[in-house]
Amino acid sequence: MNEHTPYVPAETTLKDFNPKTVILGVLLGAVFGSANAYLGLRVGLTISTAIPLAVVSVAILTILTPLFGKPSILECNISQTAGSASSSLASGLIFTIPALYLWNYDAPLLQITLLAMCGGLLGVLFMIPLRNFLIVKEHHTLPYPEGTASAEVLIAATGGGGASAKSVFKGLGIGALYTSLISFLYIWPSKVQMKLPLLRKAVVGVSTTPALLGVGYILGRRIGAIMVGGGLISWVLIIPFIAWKFGDKEIWPNTLIYLQSKGLDASITTIGGLSAQQIWDGYIRIIGAGAVAAAGLITVAKSIPTMVNSLKIGVKELRSSAASLDAGRLRTERDLSIKYVILGVALVVLVVTFIPGIIGNNTHILMRLCSAVAIAIFAFCFVTVSSRIVGMIGVSSNPTSGMAIVTLLGTGLIFKFLGWTDLTGKITALTIGTIVCISASIAGDISQDLKTGFIVGATPRKQQISEIIGALGSAFFVCLAVFYLGKAYGFGTEQLPAPQATLMKTVLDGVLDGNLRWDLVGIGAAFSIVIMLFRIPPLPFAVGVYLPLHTMTPVFIGGVIRHMVDARSKRGREDVDLAGDDGILLGSGLIAGEGLLGVVIAIIAVIIARTPKFLEIPYSPAWVGQVISALIFCGLGWYLYRVALKSKGAQL
């Protein structure tokens, strides 16, 4: 297998890390992260902003050329790296923090800002010793789709892509236009679904969005098929089985309360009265959490050699000075010293232990010390898991909320054993989950950024410093957005449902109050174990069980298109640099276009305090709109196929 050659050779020195690039990244991160937080609180999902930030960074730095000179590709990469940290902070915050307010605990802005900073710092630091294994040595194994796509965008947008840049910007335009029509004007629905005959409450669907199609093309067919397999088991097997076997049973009390908080009619008391979506909300999410937990533990176990080797290298580095280490390394191989990693982790542990207000009020020193140790252990484990899973399936599908659930299960059981089951114990356990969730989310983000840097030829150390500055610098602004959105609308309301945080509260209440459905958790864990025995990667499968099926199917369709192109052009999957494939560039543009419009729509929603809907067309019957949506989506897939096939010189 050929050794990777970066776009900017290691021997070449270009402008990269400077105040201009870092400040721009922090400012962009504040805007994108705040908008992403609102979007996540509304719909329970966040968008990856790495690719949109790459596009915006190039555009703004190019506009500033008269003041600062023409930007280099490495400068654009630094701005993108610093800015993208904010969206990961938003993901970690919105999955956990609203639960504090649902317990009527009015968390101060300073507290949630410090939690965000601690999580962001740990996520970057723990990823540093893993870079050589996951990014460099597994370059031909882990595609890191957003990272690869961001590199293609940077190369094309800064003039290195030549004619290839047309595919990126065509995709960007198509993705933006397509998204505006379905998520702003609502001219046709963004999801197609249908009920299957004979199987009670079985539903299949497709999210007809351009970004997921682009992600699927970059990922390939295998991972997409595994993820869809997990989704089909949830929606075609488990949900119909629950409806058939337990339809006349009463809804479990805690689940009933949870579903009623999401708008369930109070007259519905049996499982048979629930819709497929409500069964998924009340039961499948718990099964999926168990599957993700088990798959996460399996992945951690398999990653132990990577962790051990990383620690061995770190110990060797401790014996050497930074100057002597750099002397034997190329510019593109220089990471932050392991000494700074240890110092930073120790700082977080000390801060959590000795500053009472960070993880909750009325906490004693033993509780804070146990919390600090739990944070360090869980964060290190899930940083490894997160970094590996985003390499396979991308940041957008990173199950950080599932990892937070595992953390809450672990800390909740420990706290229950120690007798810390009151509100203080719940708040403390949740804030532990907040830091771990943010750490895992940030680790997935910086992994993609480091992949981008590896392809374009950036200096890893400068990227890592940029990510730390970006995380710390944008933390206040993202927390400010979450804080005041909660003050304005309230969490768990129709305006801000905060679905993941509501689930976290349910899980933690269940553990500490002793009424969690461990049988459902065990079922999910059993699925992951059985899948592993068939030599199928359990984590993508568990993600498929945990996430809605309609978000998995377009990823699979994109992978099938990629397989068809490779089969026609006689090119194999091992061509990981994807040179000469305009399908990758077009797919990157589709992701960037939808991402940019998603952020714009979220900003507008924050300004007008409601979901912007214009020209919404009421189709009657409803299936007409779904047919139109399906046909247009098929047309987009056909266009992607033609562009990719043509670039590989195959006959159409």
DSSP of 215-247: HHHHH-HHHHHHHHHHHHIIIIIIHHHHHHHST
Residue 602 — pLDDT band, cuts 50, 70, 90?
low
Out of 64-68, 373-377, 422-426, 575-579, which region has the weakest mean confidence (pLDDT)?
575-579
499-512 core/surface letters (b: 16 or more CB in 10 A; e: else): bbbbbbbbbbbbbb
Whether residue 40 has pLDDT greater than 90? no
443 or 398, which is more confident? 443
pLDDT at res. 649: 63
Coil/strand/helix, residue 207? strand
Give the model confidence (pLDDT) of 494-507 as tens digits. Answer: 667 776 787 778 77
- On whether the CB atoms of residues 150 and 448 are closer than 8 A, the answer is yes
Q: Which residue has the higher pLDDT, 206 or 362?
A: 206
Distance CA 361, CA 375 (A): 18
Nearest to 203 by CA among 193, 212, 213: 193
Asked if the model's pLDDT at residue 603 lies above 80, the reply is: no
Nearest to 308 by CA among 368, 254, 380, 364: 380
Q: What is the mean pLDDT of residues 112-121?
A: 91
d(CA 547, CA 383): 20
d(CA 368, CA 399): 27
SS3 192: strand
Range from 184-188, 305-309, 540-544 carrying the lowest mean pLDDT: 305-309
Under the banding of pLDDT at 50, 70 and 90, the label for residue 577 is very low
3-state secondary structure of 574: coil
- The token pair at 597 is 């419009």
**Mean pLDDT score across all residues of the chain:** 81
**Segment 452-473, tens digit of pLDDT:** 889 888 889 999 999 999 988 8
Is 90 exceeded by the pLDDT of residue 51? no
Q: Which two tokens stand for residue 95?
A: 């999955």
Q: How confident is the model at residue 44 (pLDDT cuts 50, 70, 90)?
A: low
Q: Find out whether 549 and 235 touch, Cβ atoms under 8 Å.
A: yes
The four Cα atoms 167, 168, 172, 178 give a dihedral, to 10 degrees, of 40
3-state secondary structure at position 69: coil
Q: How would you classify residue 363: left for phi > 0, otherwise alpha for psi between -120 and 50, otherwise beta? A: beta
Strand partners, 193: 205
Q: Averaged over 390-406, what is the pLDDT?
A: 70
> Could you give the 3-state DSSP secondary structure of residue 286?
helix
Q: Are strands 203-207 and 191-195 parallel, antiparallel or unpaired?
A: antiparallel
pLDDT of amino acid 620? 76
- In the chain, count H helices and then E strands: 28, 2
Most confident of 220-229, 275-284, 344-353: 344-353
Give the rounded percent of residues in the chain with a pLDDT score beyond 70. Answer: 87
401 or 643: which leads in pLDDT: 643
**What pLDDT band is residue 39 in, cutting at 50, 70 and 90?**
low
Do 440 and 395 touch, CB atoms closer than 8 A?
no
Structure tokens at 461: 């150390």
The encoded tokens of residue 82 equal: 């610093």
364 residue type, one letter? H
Intra-chain end-to-end CA distance of the chain, in Å: 30
For the chain, percent of residues with pLDDT exceeding 90? 9
In this predicted structure, the answer to whether residue 572 has a pLDDT above a threshold of 60 is no
Say yes or no to pLDDT of 578 above 60.
no
Residue 605 has pLDDT above 60, yes or no: yes
pLDDT digits over 238-270, tens only?
999 988 888 888 887 778 877 887 778 888 888
Tell me how far CA of residue 434 lies from CA of 120, 344, 400, 428, 565, in angstroms: 11, 18, 10, 10, 42
* 139 pLDDT above the threshold of 80: no
* Residue 197: count of CB within 10 angstroms of its CB: 6
Q: CA–CA separation, 37 vs 94, rounded Å?
A: 6
Amino acid 575: pLDDT: 43
Looking at the chain, how many residues does it have?
A: 652
Asked if 386 contacts 443 with a C-beta cutoff of 8 angstroms, the reply is yes
- AA identity, residue 160: G
Question: What angle do the packed helices 538-546 and 400-418 form, to 10 degrees?
Answer: 90
Query: Per-residue DSSP letters for 313-347?
Result: HHHHHHTS-HHHHHHTS-GGG-PPPHHHHHHHHHH
Residue 191 — φ and ψ, nearest 5°? -145, 135
pLDDT at 187 over 80: yes
Pick the range with the lowest mean pLDDT from 220-234, 286-300, 632-646: 286-300
pLDDT computed for residue 632 by the predictor: 93
Torsions phi, psi for 617 (to 5 deg): -95, 120
**What is the reported pLDDT for 576?**
40
C-alpha to C-alpha distance for 434 and 96, rounded to whole angstroms: 6
Confirm if 448 and 147 have CB atoms less than 8 A apart.
yes
Segment (H or E) for 204: strand 203-207
Identify the CA nearest to 273 among candidates 262, 259, 261, 288. Answer: 259
What pLDDT, on the 0 to 100 scale, is given for residue 162? 47
Q: Which residues make Cβ contacts (< 8 Å) with residue 199, sequence separation at least 6?
A: 236, 240
Residue 397: is its pLDDT beyond 70? no
Structure tokens at 480: 């400010």
E-strand stretches of 68-202: 191-195
Between 27 and 650, the higher pLDDT residue: 27
| Side-chain-facing half-sphere of 519: CA atoms under 13 Å | 3
